[in-house]
Amino acid sequence: MKLHRESKGTITVASLLFIILSALAIYFLEMWSLMIILPLLVVYSLVFWFFRVPDREILDHKENVIAPVDGKVVMIKEVEEDEFIKGKAIQVSIFMSPLNVHICRYPVSGKVIYKKYHPGKYLVAWHEKSSTENERTTVAVESLTNHQVVFRQIAGYVARRIVFYCNEGDDAKAGHEFGFIKFGSRMDVFLPLDTEIICKIGDITKGGLDVIARMKE
């Protein structure tokens, strides 16, 4: 199983803790140590599972908006996007549980024209105000269909680290990685009002594969 580059520090700490706690359990509990070691092994395995990088065949897209993350669609509504678009847009929000793949992908192809990191709170990720009050990043892409598409990584109550690797001027390719969020969170995508929304609330998405919307040229 391929692991994400963001896993190094976490897996190193988890490995040391697993070894130390298992050794202490064996020393003090002897034959009863398995009662401690087995649950530790489950937790240790989940750390590896969280940082997995699945093999996915990413296609080229122009009009299609691709799911940026694995998760569940929890919101589709018309909103005011005040940071970059400064006007009305359709917001599609996808919630990620700690068991989902947490690679963040470009939803559209084009050119990165804006990026910004915002410190903030750690409200639960499904809270509507988390989009504007939580720790978050905002990225905007000028799409191949000449639309400005904004998407936002949002830290949740558990997620405490957001990373994004893109810079202004970079080429964005729908479905390809631009960042990572550790341990459960949400991604919002803000689309033009005339976008055809294909997904619906409750849909389970696969990042880089599923088409969630289609923009007009």
| Spatial CA neighbour of 199 closest among 86, 66, 97, 5 | 66
How many helices and strands in the chain, by DSSP H and E?
Answer: 3, 14
Does the annotation mark 109 as catalytic? Answer: no
Catalytically annotated residue among 7, 93, 143, 185: 185
Helix/strand/coil (H/E/C) assignment for every residue in 5-39: HHHHHHHHHHHHHHHHHHHHHHHHHHHHHHHHHHH
CA gap 181, 31 in Å, rounded: 40
How many other C-beta atoms lie within 10 A of the C-beta of residue 17? 14
Coil vs helix vs strand at 45: helix
- Side by side, the strands of the sheet bearing 103-105 are 103-105, 177-182, 161-164
Q: Name the strand (E) or helix (H) holding 142.
A: strand 136-143
| Spatial CA neighbour of 122 closest among 87, 158, 168 | 158
The residues that bridge with 154 in the sheet, in sequence order, are: 136, 186
List active site positions.
185
